[in-house]
Amino acid sequence: MTQGSAPQGAEHEDPRRRIPRTDALLALPAVERARASLGETVIRGIVRAAQDRARAGEITPEQVEDAVLGAIGDHPAASMRPVLNATGVIVHTNLGRAPLSAPARAALQDAAGYTDVELDLMTGARSRRGAGARAALLAACPAAEDALVVNNGAAALLLATTALAAGREVVWSRGEIVEIGAGFRLADLVSSAGARVREVGTTNRTHAADYTAACEDGQVGALMKVHTSNYRIEGFTSEVGVAELAGIAHEHGLPLIADLGSGLLRPESVLPGEPDATAALESGADVVITSGDKLLGGPQAGILLGTAATIARLARHPLARAVRADKLALAALEATLTGPVPPVLAALRTDPAALRRRTEALAARIGGELVAHDGRVGGGGGAEVPLPGWAIALEPELAPALRTGEPAVVGVLSQGRLLLDLRCVPEDQEDAIVVAVDAVREPR
């Protein structure tokens, strides 16, 4: 490559002429082996980058081979790296929400190849997509007559409002028209579905009569009940519960959509204020929407549970095809529901005394101080509910190196200290924290 630009017949050999040729680098045994995990474009890019560094004088031509081998060795198949979540925030949106249970991880792996997602192997005929996940949902939530799994909670809301209320109004309390993070406003989504948001009531108080009045004028497609999963209004407040709202909806021949967000299928004693799908359905909601990767503890998914007639209406809508769940999510969701308590619920139900013992023991190993620290549910519900617990306080200077280390350890910076909360750290990963902290404390 460089030959053409090298000065002809130069007396002093240009060092760049000693840069190993592309074909020689590509033929290195380690590079050959890397072809099992890296594509040709990536490998050639790594080779070119090392040659360019030598041309720029950053490394010598003799160092090019090592640079290629090093870069190939460090190159992960995907750039997302595993993180030890030492924040105490269970459903951490920036860290990928719910970590999957062991059976869910195995199911993902099994479904990664060809799989009978839409084929009945007994008869050889086409079958209903995701029948296993549907059956697991109905077993976990018998109050639902039918279930449909889509891409995520937002997609579920889009599908429900499009199928039930496009071109008409969705009656919705002003106190429940929420933004759920990163500027994502539920009302904007519903408007984009072609339904008109009809705000009723006020920020703090909405009454049954507000909904009834809206239903009288004949423009309405559905009533909406949204769980304000990330904030709470306190004081002089009133809202209309699902049961009463369902009564108003059905009196006017309308469906009630209940968006719970959090993903609890049944009541959870640690979060007594958190609504659950079973209660909402038993109270008369026609369709309940929850996310798969919040408190349910599964993969990203939007779960629609409801009456047979309503779910059939949604499943028939053309948009259902655009928002359908992929086979990996269906497999992981089923395994989450049929498996043992998933990591999210285990973290939620952590016994503070046990957490204290773990934290004290690890603090003794890495040399930090034990401090009280409340965990949080995070973006999945249970707004503002503190989960009493403990953390290890370390020097704040360690934070960047721990974050960028191997494995990456993400804690919380609070009052001039770095706190490591073990609530969401698997017990078998504690040694990895010791190694990570030792590595960053060592002067390099």
Ligand X SMILES: *Cc1c(COP(=O)(O)O)cnc(C)c1O
Residues that bind ligand X (CB under 6 A): 152-154, 157, 180, 186, 226-227, 229, 259, 261, 291, 302
Residue 410: φ, ψ to 5°: -115, 115
- Minimal CA–CA distance to 363: which of 337, 388, 338, 394? 394
Nearer to ligand X, 278 or 291 (CB): 291
Give least dist CB 94 to ligand X, A.
13
> Residue 92 carries which side chain, given as an amino acid letter?
H
Give least dist CB 148 to ligand X, A.
14
Q: Where are the alpha helices (DSSP H) in 203-241?
A: 208-215
Nearer to ligand X, 157 or 437 (CB): 157
Nearer to ligand X, 228 or 350 (CB): 228
Cβ-based neighbours of 428, under 8 Å, separated by 6 or more: none
Nearer to ligand X, 71 or 189 (CB): 189
CB-neighbour burial class of residue 296 (10 A; exposed 0-12, middle 13-18, buried 19+): buried
Give least dist CB 260 to ligand X, A.
7
Give least dist CB 66 to ligand X, A.
45
Give least dist CB 191 to ligand X, A.
15
Give least dist CB 367 to ligand X, A.
39
Contact by Cβ (8 Å): 47, 68: yes
Contact by Cβ (8 Å): 66, 73: no
Structure tokens at 295: 């408190």
Give least dist CB 157 to ligand X, A.
6
Task: Count CB-CB contacts under 10 A for residue 362.
Answer: 21
Nearer to ligand X, 377 or 436 (CB): 377
CA distance linking residue 188 with residue 83, whole number of Å = 33
CA distance linking residue 187 with residue 441, whole number of Å = 49
- Minimal CA–CA distance to 249: which of 277, 276, 226, 221? 221
Give least dist CB 221 to ligand X, A.
18
Nearer to ligand X, 180 or 424 (CB): 180
Give least dist CB 40 to ligand X, A.
36
Give least dist CB 361 to ligand X, A.
35
- Minimal CA–CA distance to 100: which of 240, 292, 380? 292
Contact by Cβ (8 Å): 323, 172: no
Q: 420 in helix, strand or coil?
A: strand
Task: Count CB-CB contacts under 10 A for residue 44.
Answer: 14
Nearer to ligand X, 34 or 256 (CB): 256
Contact by Cβ (8 Å): 61, 50: no
Nearer to ligand X, 87 or 151 (CB): 151
Nearer to ligand X, 134 or 227 (CB): 227
Q: Which residues of 408-419 are buried (b: 16+ CB within 10 A; e: fewer)?
A: ebbbbeeeebbb
Nearer to ligand X, 227 or 417 (CB): 227
Q: How far, in whole angstroms, is CA 228 from its chain's centroid? A: 19
Nearer to ligand X, 31 or 177 (CB): 177
Q: Where are the alpha helices (DSSP H) in 20-101?
A: 22-26, 29-34, 40-55, 64-74
CA distance linking residue 367 with residue 433, whole number of Å = 12
- Minimal CA–CA distance to 346: which of 425, 282, 434? 425
Give least dist CB 226 to ligand X, A.
5
